[in-house]
Chains A and B, each alone.
Chain A
């Protein structure tokens, strides 16, 4: 396959698969921070399940990227041996969890994005990306349902939960635009141009926020840069914790 496509296309495919893996890994790691700290036992398990789903998606994308890269690259070298500027995840994934309102709202924004993205990616001409998207889409459908319900529950809940959702909305909104700014690797034929999922995403967000008695912010200014490798200060801390063992004891295994 490699000799049938140009070097640029191939390197963009690697970047794209890595980017999709980074999105899943970083949010998966954030969600895993809830393990043992969830507001109630059942939701602790729910958010940990979502973390594991995302980790599984990251592995699939990384394995594919590693296979294309060759040179001894593996899913582990991609996860553990790259530094901040090498990560191409969208910014919203790396933001701290905050309270439960912030966590479920971020999950909702992100899952809605993944939902429409993977739905189209299933039709990608790249068979491997299409297959991963098909498998992951079912998981994401549930994440979207779960997070939508929490947004509605808290937004249309008590005075305090409504207030907390509003605070989360103020904080997270300016990070949502980053998901839709296309990088070069997203404009290739194998990829889904995020601009093509934006309308669906906005409609879903509007519908759920309205049901949650929350107002879609009118502010259109957005943070950006995640997909290029320009990150907030938070990603370095995540990597420091996540990569410590492999950095300190290279090749350590169970």
Chain B
């Protein structure tokens, strides 16, 4: 039997209105403990107002060896960037 507690990925929202950001991972027996551990490990210096925890095994990641087929095709398609329009002067913040 594996006696290690499962690994959890921790996401903290540092201020209202901002996104949760991945800050690290830790071990915990269940979600409740993971939240409390995250509180103790990652928010001791007022870093957060909200915590998400996700057991690491539930994260599905893309494979680095597939980077070529996944990302390269986007490199030579400059027309996907909306940079070829003449903006009227009245339009701000673009």
Contact = CB atoms under 8 A, between A and B. Distances in A.
A45 interface: yes
10 tightest A-B CB contacts, nearest first: A42-B37, A46-B40, A45-B40, A49-B40, A42-B26, A45-B41, A42-B41, A146-B36, A42-B27, A40-B27
Interface of A: 40-43, 45-46, 49, 142, 145-146, 149, 153
B49 interface: no
B54 interface: no
A49 B44 contact: yes
A45 B29 CA distance: 16
Contacts, number: 27
- How big is chain B's contact interface, by range? 10 to 19
Contacts of B32: 149
B33 interface: yes
Interface string B4-31: 0100000000000000000000111100
A159 to B, nearest CB: 14
16 contacts: A40-B5, A41-B26, A41-B27, A42-B26, A42-B28, A42-B40, A42-B41, A43-B37, A46-B36, A46-B37, A46-B40, A142-B39, A145-B36, A146-B36, A149-B33, A149-B36
A149 B29 CA distance: 12
Contacts of B37: 42-43, 45-46
Contacts of A41: 26-27
A146 to B, nearest CB: 6
Contacts of A145: 36
Nearest to A52: B44
A42 B53 CA distance: 14
B15 to A, nearest CB: 20
Nearest to B40: A46
A212 to B, nearest CB: 15
A146 B37 CA distance: 10
Contacts of A142: 39
Nearest to A149: B32
B25 to A, nearest CB: 11
